[in-house]
Structure 1
Amino acid sequence: MNYAQLLFPDFSLILCGYLVCRFTALNRSVWQQVDSLVYYFLFPILLFHSIVKSPLDLGATSSLIAAGLCLGVSAIALSYSLPYWPILGRHLDRKDHAASAQVGFRFNSFIALALAERIAGPQGLLLISCLIGFCVPLFNTAAVWPMARHGNTHFGRQLLRNPLIIATASGLVANLLGFRMPIWLEPTVQRIGGASLALGLMAAGAGMQLTSLRKGKVLSVTILLCKHLMLPLMAWGWARVMSLDATQTTVLLAFSALPTASTCYVLATRMGYNGAYVGALVTLSTLSGMLSLPFALGVLL
């Protein structure tokens, strides 16, 4: 499988956003409004739809879900622990870490859905949908916590008002209750989803300033190593602990090696943090996925 070809559409959209913002009249004041549109309307609809469109078979996927949640908790703990490591912690800016820790464990659900179907067919799509349904609320909650804490805002209020958490939690409940999107509404929702993907990635590019990485080189390298090296290794370990079958192991390894979520930039920006720095990390994570996916599926599998 050509992983570079699979990741190229996402990276090219980020690059388009950067070029449009830098060299045309569509400057950052325009893209700030696009951020709001994606964050509060387009992307929540896409998340809800991606979860409810495939029935969740909890019995058949319980081991995979357990492994995914264990992997998620391990990844979150690893990302949060970085400021407390000897020597390393002294070189990390705590506020930048609060905004960028999410890069170390979140994942790009669009690439996840596309990749799972290519490597494992319809069963892979169902399995990755299960992981998305259970892990996205966990990851989004974990992403909000350090920023709310360092920003001196009420954590519970941030969770209750976070549109991404509301969308994923309600989607999971709706799926388990048997709700299905009406056929006549499907085309509209699919077009909204496509718009959210394109605009979200372009907004990340528009806010990107790679020069912002200069002051946080140690943090950048550490976060990306956690995401693209340590997570696949932890996934390999949890797959064996949970005795996953071959297909489930393949899906979990692919899940662990995905680039980070493009909405990391949106969330950091909306909560008043250094969005340019996080956007640059998202871009580097997308590039790093071209190495971590072959490593996970070609070496560890």
Structure 2
Amino acid sequence: MLVHTRGMSTAWLLLPDFLLILSGFLLCRHTALNRSVWESIEKIVYFLLFPVLLFNAIMKSPLQPGQTLPLAGVGVATVGVGVLLAFALGRWPGVAGRLHASGAQVAFRFNSFVALALAERLGGSQGLAWMALLIALCVPLCNIAAVWPLARHGGQAYHRELLRNPLILATLGGLLANLAGLRFPQPVATTLDRIGLAALPLGLMAAGAGLQLGGLARGPRLAAALLAIRHAVLPLVAIGLVAAVGLPPAQATVVVAFAALPTASSAYVLAARMGGDGPYTAGLVTVSTLLGMVSIAAWLAVLRTS
């Protein structure tokens, strides 16, 4: 009964975030706020609001290497396993190169909007700081790994894509500001805080507005394998590493929630922009988002019983 109660408690914590996703889906399909409106909102979130949120969270987070190094190691190792497994799928017989280049990122990328909203609900400001650190370390890794197969398949220069990525720039900027001890005057700090606060609700609603299932029929076996890595293998890897390293319960909760996240909603944007199969990637993002509604609570319940 206790495990069930805790699982229900986690589900209730997640419910407001997924209701925001649902509201975005309904608004996009049943009101004048159609897809073209949400595409503009996605750009504002991706290029302004979310980078500001990341920059602020990382700049203000005490790095405390001695306390956070094991947490960071588990997070980076988990993502690394996802990258290796996703790339290995490209060697399967019969896997179309364009589909694999487009969809591989779904196995290891994560929805940072959901990550930060969830971390704050699970662990308050400290949980948010830990999740921001994981994002800071893993966003560059994930973006490099996501851009590489698409650039190679499409004949594009991936260095340019990485250097222009706003999330990588915000991450590096936040780390440099943190190390330099930078602090803004109160009016500037308050303005940046308010800009960042808008990122989570709008980002979650934009993720809902982009949900679609079309395109998966072109590679169902590959889709199933990629989603299995994202929602089954990586949480199991994280739980195993958490036990091996002996992370404190609060950090273990954050890192397992991180491993169980739905994939990044921007995966579709990246695939479409770099000449990949946009509809196939959008289908993967949709299913991953729906799976995330139950998988995060389920894996956190498994962690508590392990």
| 1:45 aligned residue | 52
Query: Does structure 2 conserve the Cα–Cα contact (< 8 Å) formed by 1:259 and 1:286?
Result: yes
Distance 1:230 1:68, change over 3 A: same
Distance in 2, Cα, partners of 1:173 & 1:204:
30
Distance in 2, Cα, partners of 1:240 & 1:15:
35
The superposition leaves residues 99-146 of structure 1 with CA deviations (integer Å, 9 ceiling, x where unpaired) of: 222221122333333433444455433332322221222222222222
Matched, 1:222 2:225: yes
Query: Does structure 1 conserve the Cα–Cα contact (< 8 Å) formed by 2:117 and 2:200?
Result: no
- Cα displacement (A) at 1:154: 0.5
Distance 1:281 1:182, change over 3 A: farther
Match of 1:154 among 130, 152, 157: 157
- Cα displacement (A) at 1:226: 0.6
| 1:99 aligned residue | 102
| 2:66 aligned residue | 59
Q: Which moved more, 1:8-17 or 1:259-268?
A: 8-17
Q: Which moved more, 1:179-188 or 1:253-262?
A: 179-188
Q: Percent identity?
A: 53
| 1:112 aligned residue | 115
Q: Which moved more, 1:71-80 or 1:171-180?
A: 171-180
Q: Residue type of the partner of 2:176?
A: V
Distance 1:249 1:198, change over 3 A: closer
- Cα displacement (A) at 1:5: 3.6
Q: Which runs of 5+ in 1 are unaligned?
A: none
Q: Residue type of the partner of 2:151?
A: A
Distance 1:266 1:178, change over 3 A: farther
Query: Does structure 2 conserve the Cα–Cα contact (< 8 Å) formed by 1:35 and 1:266?
Result: no
| 1:2 aligned residue | 9
| 1:294 aligned residue | 297
Distance 1:147 1:183, change over 3 A: farther
Q: Which moved more, 1:200-209 or 1:174-183?
A: 200-209
The superposition leaves residues 165-200 of structure 1 with CA deviations (integer Å, 9 ceiling, x where unpaired) of: 111122222222222344322343233334433444
Q: State the aligned residue count.
A: 297
TM-score (normalised: structure 1): 0.85
| 1:73 aligned residue | 80
Distance in 1, Cα, partners of 2:82 & 2:176:
25
Q: Which runs of 5+ in 2 are unaligned?
A: 1-7
Correspondence 1:134-283 to 2 at 5 A: 134-283=137-286
Query: Does structure 1 conserve the Cα–Cα contact (< 8 Å) formed by 2:59 and 2:177?
Result: yes
Query: Does structure 2 conserve the Cα–Cα contact (< 8 Å) formed by 1:108 and 1:262?
Result: yes
Query: Does structure 2 conserve the Cα–Cα contact (< 8 Å) formed by 1:268 and 1:275?
Result: yes
TM-score (normalised: structure 2): 0.84
Q: Residue type of the partner of 1:268?
A: A
Distance 1:209 1:121, change over 3 A: closer
Distance in 2, Cα, partners of 1:29 & 1:119:
34
Distance in 2, Cα, partners of 1:42 & 1:249:
28
Q: Which moved more, 1:175-184 or 1:7-16?
A: 7-16
Q: Which moved more, 1:229-238 or 1:16-25?
A: 16-25
Q: Residue type of the partner of 1:215?
A: R
Query: Does structure 2 conserve the Cα–Cα contact (< 8 Å) formed by 1:204 and 1:266?
Result: no
Distance in 2, Cα, partners of 1:34 & 1:114:
18
Report the secondary structure of 1:235's partner residue: helix
Report the secondary structure of 1:258's partner residue: coil
Distance 1:193 1:268, change over 3 A: farther
Q: Which moved more, 1:165-174 or 1:240-249?
A: 240-249
Query: Does structure 2 conserve the Cα–Cα contact (< 8 Å) formed by 1:209 and 1:280?
Result: yes
Distance in 2, Cα, partners of 1:294 & 1:14:
17
Report the secondary structure of 1:262's partner residue: coil
- Cα displacement (A) at 1:153: 0.7
